[in-house]
Amino acid sequence: MSDAPEEMGNGETPQAPAKKLAMLQWLGTIGFVALIGIPAVTGWLTPDRASSESERRTLATRPAAPNDVDALQSYPERFATYYADHFGFRDTFVQAYKALKYAIGDSPSGDLTLGKDGYLFLGGIGDSYVKFNDPFGDVRNRNLYTEAELALFAKNIVATRDYLASVGVEYLFIVTPNKHTIYFDKLPNGIERTAPQSALDQLVEYLDANTDIGMMDLRDALLDERKTHEVYHR
């Protein structure tokens, strides 16, 4: 009998598939280490930036070395926040993530909603959304004033007007609507008003009936202007 390893039908020995699998496992391990290691090393060697160009926000600063027990306990969380803002190629990854989300018709942020024809709107649609004063709840006419709130609003505006008049300043109350109101037709499908009046309608009506405040409501003017040019950035 021969001690030479038997060959398989394709000319390989029985040990060849195992060697290939081991090689693939090593290559996978090396690739994974490189994937997580290169951004970490690049971020460590690159000077920290104060702000992000892609996110338009201030980045976390490197936490100081802990000098007491409380600082030591909070240090891991503070360092994790710092690292998340400064690992290598972060802006590239953020831009790629945004591009992918836009490509599949989804928003890259819970604070941003994609509308029709490429329009973007501040805020989320969900009923539980509470950030940025709920602009979608406002445009749906869900966030209405109570009679007591309207009275307090009017009282404060009149007091402001009277004080400014006492020092020789004329007061004009100007209502500037947001993009949701002027471009309501560009909101996502399914966005409907749940009441005939908005909070702004309530306020304008109340102030007109109960005060002599000088007031300017820009909604009609902006709705007319949008017929000829873009009055809010897409």
CA 117 to chain centre: 19
Quick one: tokens of 95? Answer: 């831009």
Poorest-pLDDT segment among 26-30, 35-39, 46-50, 79-83 = 35-39
CA 133 → CA 143, 186, 188, 225, distances in Å?
Answer: 9, 20, 19, 26
Quick one: tokens of 64? Answer: 């100081």
Q: Could you read off the pLDDT of 128-175 as tens digits, one per residue?
A: 777 778 899 999 999 999 999 999 999 999 999 999 999 999 999 998
Considering Cα of 198, then 200, then 201, then 207, what sign does the dihedral take? Answer: positive
Given this model, what pLDDT does residue 30 score? 75
For residues 48 and 187, what is the distance between their CA atoms, to the nearest angstrom? 39
Quick one: tokens of 108? Answer: 């890259």
Given this model, what pLDDT does residue 207 score? 96
CA 173 → CA 143, 204, 215, distances in Å?
Answer: 21, 10, 5
Three-state DSSP state, 52:
strand
pTM over 0.75: no
Give one DSSP letter per residue of 60-79, joined into a string. Answer: PPPPPPP-SHHHHHHHHHHH
Beta bridge partners of 174: 216
